[in-house]
């Protein structure tokens, strides 16, 4: 080869598909012959001033970059490479205090009771579970409580999932979701959202907690879920109301899998979802937050942490950490999310949910605030 190096914006260009930003991009070539290479964008020639640098202007969307080099000795192109470049407008990170707040299962108690307790917090959503009963017979959902929240600016996010979901025929999923979405649309108009599943990548010994497919590889399991469950959920919701946001199935605490499945997931979702549960605040652990945000930004998408918490329940039970110390970590975690530009976080749990981390609930059994509600307020500086 006569061209020995190709760089776009000072990064090696060695993949057939590249993502960048629209506008001026800088292409640099290093080659070992005197002839200048020929560069075209979308079949249009791009001239170089010095024979080393080309300033190429990319429109939004897909462009084709072709780099050729003529060999005088052989009278043929000894280099002819084509690259597909997608130029996306970057989505700016939300500024501090623009991260939206949701609370998981807040709607388990009436809005009139919870309103004075959450006063001052920027609560904009309540994420609530809807058990699809394996997408068998649809039983009418009681929207009474979430209607009151929605009227007061707290949008319900319905997570359609349950434990041990087995593969189902698409027509079963569509029929069940169509019935639910029709009722939700009648009750709430555009003021609701759907999370199309829960942690399909999570496995214990190769068997999923929420997606009962015996495949140890989290990426393969998740792609299969997206194509056979998330897709019909998305299509059924959009058929009822195209204005309703469909959030991808929230992935368990694995930013690498999120990156690998994001493109497939966004075919059948408006936003990505992630469930961070770090058990410490070391750089190695919390960098997954930044990675998940970058995965969304690279695809012009929102990222919603539809569950978020510090996984300290086992240490608390063993007497290795106090609630006060645990709460301080929660504050720092929320501050990190806001700094990194997470679009929305949904704190888990509002009340005792019978899980390992339930001691970190915002409210006790008498619906009184705990130190974790203060931690939430400290994180949002209210």
DSSP state of 275: E
User: Which among 54, 87, 120 is the end of a domain?
Assistant: 87
Whether residue 68 sits in one domain with residue 190 = no
CATH number at residue 229: 3.20.20.80
What is the C-alpha to C-alpha distance for residues 284 and 204, in angstroms, rounded to an integer? 23
Q: Is residue 93 part of a domain?
A: no
Average pLDDT, the chain: 90
Tens digit of pLDDT for each residue in 116-171?
999 999 999 999 999 888 899 999 999 999 999 999 999 999 999 877 888 899 99
Whether residue 161 sits in one domain with residue 81 = no
What is the C-alpha to C-alpha distance for residues 249 and 125, in angstroms, rounded to an integer? 17
User: Which among 87, 111, 135 is the end of a domain?
Assistant: 87
The pLDDT assigned to 207 comes to 63
The pLDDT assigned to 129 comes to 93
Q: Give all strands (DSSP E) within the chain, no chain letters.
A: 3-8, 11-12, 17-20, 23-31, 38-41, 44-46, 53-58, 61-71, 76-87, 100-104, 123-130, 155-160, 193-195, 203-204, 207-208, 245-247, 251-252, 271-275, 302-308, 344-347
Total of domains in the chain: 2
The pLDDT assigned to 95 comes to 58
Q: How far is CA 69 from CA 3, 33, 80, 102, 153, in A?
A: 7, 9, 7, 56, 60
CATH number at residue 65: 2.60.40
Structure token pair of residue 157: 């996010």
Q: Is residue 92 part of a domain?
A: no
The pLDDT assigned to 90 comes to 66
Name the pTM for this structure.
0.76
Cβ atoms < 10 Å from Cβ of 321 = 16
Whether residue 173 sits in one domain with residue 54 = no
Q: Is 269 left (phi over 0), alpha (psi -120 to 50) or beta?
A: beta
User: Which among 34, 60, 87 is the end of a domain?
Assistant: 87
Enclosing domain of residue 46: 3-87
Q: Is residue 343 part of a domain?
A: yes
Tell me if 21 sits within 8 A of 299, measured CB to CB: no
Q: Is residue 95 part of a domain?
A: no
Q: Is residue 94 part of a domain?
A: no
Whether residue 74 sits in one domain with residue 110 = no
Rounded-to-5 percentages of helix, strand, coil across the chain: 35, 30, 40
Q: Report residues of the chain scoring pLDDT below 50.
A: none
Q: Is residue 36 part of a domain?
A: yes
The pLDDT assigned to 127 comes to 98
Q: Is residue 312 part of a domain?
A: yes
Tell me if 309 sits within 8 A of 357, measured CB to CB: yes
The pLDDT assigned to 31 comes to 84
């Amino acid at each position: 080869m006569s061209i020995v190096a190709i760089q776009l914006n000072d990064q090696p260009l060695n993949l057939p598909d590249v993502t960048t930003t629209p506008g001026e991009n800088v292409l640099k070539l290093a080659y070992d012959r005197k002839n200048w290479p020929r560069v075209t964008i979308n079949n249009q020639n791009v001239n170089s001033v010095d024979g080393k640098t080309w300033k190429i202007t990319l429109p939004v969307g897909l462009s084709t970059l072709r780099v050729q080099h003529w060999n005088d000795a052989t009278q043929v192109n000894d280099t002819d490479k084509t690259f597909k470049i997608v130029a996306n407008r970057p989505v700016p990170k939300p500024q501090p205090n623009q991260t939206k707040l949701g609370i998981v299962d807040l709607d388990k108690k009436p809005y009139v009771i919870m309103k004075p307790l959450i006063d001052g917090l920027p609560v904009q959503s309540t994420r609530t579970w809807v058990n699809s009963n394996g997408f068998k017979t649809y039983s009418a959902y009681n929207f009474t409580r979430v209607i009151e929240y929605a009227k007061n600016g707290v949008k319900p996010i319905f997570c359609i999932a349950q434990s041990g979901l087995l593969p189902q025929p698409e027509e079963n999923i569509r029929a069940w979701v169509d019935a639910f979405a029709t009722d939700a649309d009648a009750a709430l108009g555009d003021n609701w959202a759907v999370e199309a599943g829960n942690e399909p990548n999570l496995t214990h010994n190769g068997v999923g907690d929420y997606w009962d497919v015996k495949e140890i590889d989290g990426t393969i399991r998740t792609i299969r879920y997206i194509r056979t469950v998330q897709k019909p959920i998305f299509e059924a919701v959009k058929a009822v109301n195209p204005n309703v946001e469909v959030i991808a199935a929230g992935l368990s605490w694995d930013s690498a899998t999120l990156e690998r499945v994001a493109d497939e997931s966004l075919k059948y979702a408006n936003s990505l979802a992630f469930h961070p549960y770090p058990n410490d605040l070391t750089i190695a652990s919390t960098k997954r937050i930044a990675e998940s945000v970058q995965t969304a930004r690279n695809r012009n998408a929102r990222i919603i942490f539809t569950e978020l918490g510090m996984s300290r329940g086992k240490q608390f039970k063993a007497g290795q950490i106090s609630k006060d110390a645990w709460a301080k970590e929660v504050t720092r975690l929320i501050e990190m999310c806001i700094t990194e530009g997470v679009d929305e976080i949904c704190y888990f749990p509002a009340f005792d949910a019978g899980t390992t981390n339930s001691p970190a609930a915002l409210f006790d059994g008498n619906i009184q605030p705990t130190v974790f509600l203060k931690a939430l307020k400290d994180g949002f500086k209210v």
